[in-house]
Amino acid sequence: ITDRFDDHNRHYLVMEYVEGRNLEEELAARGGPLPEGLVIDIARQLCDVLGYLHGTTPTLVYRDMKPSNVMLTPKGKVMLVDFGIARLFKTARKGTMIGTLGFAPPEQYQGVVDPRSDIYSLGATLHYVLTGRDPEKFPPFSFPPVRDLRPEVSTNLAAAIDAALAYEADARPATIQEFCDMLLYGRGIGVGGAKPSV
């Protein structure tokens, strides 16, 4: 976002043009799930973006992570777009229920969000692009373990995504860095809610 302004009670954000396709379009173009290596690279880059947002003071919670808001450029760079419902995080403050069915975490439906809400939505996004199972077409908050759908996926990636999708926020990785360390290095797998896939 490079600028913002108001005009006659309408609010505008100015953003750079991003060449490429969003992840929804990428899935359609490939005719199925994305390769594991690409998903890991996308996840790593999104962890960097969320790490930056969550590290601001006050913390910025994105609130709308989903494949159609993640652009992939021809050079493989990931860009997060559409900050329309992002908000500053304030402890113990309730807001409006907003987000995308299938990708928004349970607590967001009660108007409660914190950085772990973005971790859930990232897990839902990665689950979809890795397995091809669109969560909008199934009952909310029902994600089969990754390796039930793609047994060949690495333990670290599958366990990190499964842990991010815990129904209770306290059972998810506490920070985006913990999620990233689990995904890339297997740290924390088998601790708390994060179980290795067999």
Residue 64 is a catalytic residue: yes
Among the listed residues 7, 64, 134, 148, the single catalytic one is 64
- Cα dihedral sign, 58-63-67-69: negative
Half-sphere exposure of 70 (CA within 13 A, CB side): 29
d(C-alpha 108, C-alpha 96), whole Å? 8
Residues with a known catalytic role: 64
